[in-house]
Structure 1
Amino acid sequence: MYNDLFGVSPMIFWLILTVILAVSEILTLGLTTIWFALGALAAFISCIMGASLPLQIVVFIIVSVIALLLVRPVSLKLLSGKIVKTNIDALIGRKVNVSKDIDNIKETGNVILDGTTWNARSLEDDVVISSGETVVIEKVEGNKLIVKRA
């Protein structure tokens, strides 16, 4: 009754789908298609074991959903802790000293960061931060550090 799936045997279909989804995951590294690749692999194995096509489809759906719901949150949690901030991202949250009063209205303000003078602006337009104060870098916009009082 079910001799083919999209014009090929179910075994070949599940194998091709597994490879396509796995390669897609390798290229994107977004933890999006790996769960469905696992489901396709499970369907492929069930096909080898002689399961009917409807059962293979059910296996694909169940394994994909279970992997997505149970494993993805744990994977994201483990991977997110190992990301090391670099370049501009590494500046966010650092404390620096104000070397020239920061006044957004007058468009003035500097801070010293690692021995280099940076233009700085306050996170809030109506706040003037005096020279000598310590501030925290909130974000970077072009060549300006956006800061707030520590």
Structure 2
Amino acid sequence: METMGWLIIFIVLIVIELLTMGLTTIWFAGGALAALLMSVLGFGMPVQVVVFIIVSVLLLVLTRPIAVKYFNQNRQKTNVESLIGQQALVLEDVDTLHAAGQVKVNGQIWSAKTEETSGFIAKDTVVMIRGIQGVKLIVKAKED
């Protein structure tokens, strides 16, 4: 009966992973598979549970960062993320020291600042969006 239980848990976890594709249950499916193997080899339930926990945690800790890095490699950037790398026009002098500055990108006006704490970029300068911090775009003057 123990073997059937682990097999059912394994199948359920794989189905959930296939439906969500979120890298959430695959690690535990690996643990269930290891526990299933322990059951087939004749080990008792305490050993099976310990193996399930250890293998699940090891898979999660050791392989998840690598899998996440490559799993979402080709995902489409959306919303604010898509602004990074685009050009913008400075509408109001960007003066990071005095927390002033506005840029226009894709028809929208954003507050902006530079990466340097005392950075300054004059009005009508074309800038590149380097990042986002809170509700401000981090910009740098475009080099010709």
In the superposition, the TM-score normalised over structure 2's length comes to 0.64
Matched-pair identity in %: 39
1:118 correspondence with 2:109: yes
1:91 correspondence with 2:83: yes
Equivalent residue letter for 1:52:
F
Deviations 1:31-57 (A, max 9, x none): 34422212212322553x452226645
What's the counterpart of residue 148 of structure 1? 140
Q: Please say which structure displays the higher CA radius of gyration.
A: 1
Q: What RMSD in Å do the two structures reach over aligned CA positions?
A: 3.5
What's the counterpart of residue 130 of structure 1? 122
Q: How many residues align?
A: 137
Quote how far apart the aligned CAs of 1:98 are.
Answer: 1.8
The runs of 5 or more residues in structure 2 that have no matched partner are none
Quote how far apart the aligned CAs of 1:92 are.
Answer: 1.9
Check the 8 A contact 2:90/2:104 in 1, yes or no. yes
Deviations 1:128-148 (A, max 9, x none): 210232323221644x53423
Distance 2:68 2:42 in 1: 33
Q: Which range moves more in the overlay, 73-82 or 84-93? A: 73-82
- Structure 1 residue ranges, 4+ long, deviating more than 6 angstroms after superposition: none
Distance 1:77 1:121 in 2: 30
In the superposition, the TM-score normalised over structure 1's length comes to 0.62
Task: Pick closer, same or farther for the CA change 1:45–1:139 going to 2, 3 Å.
Answer: same
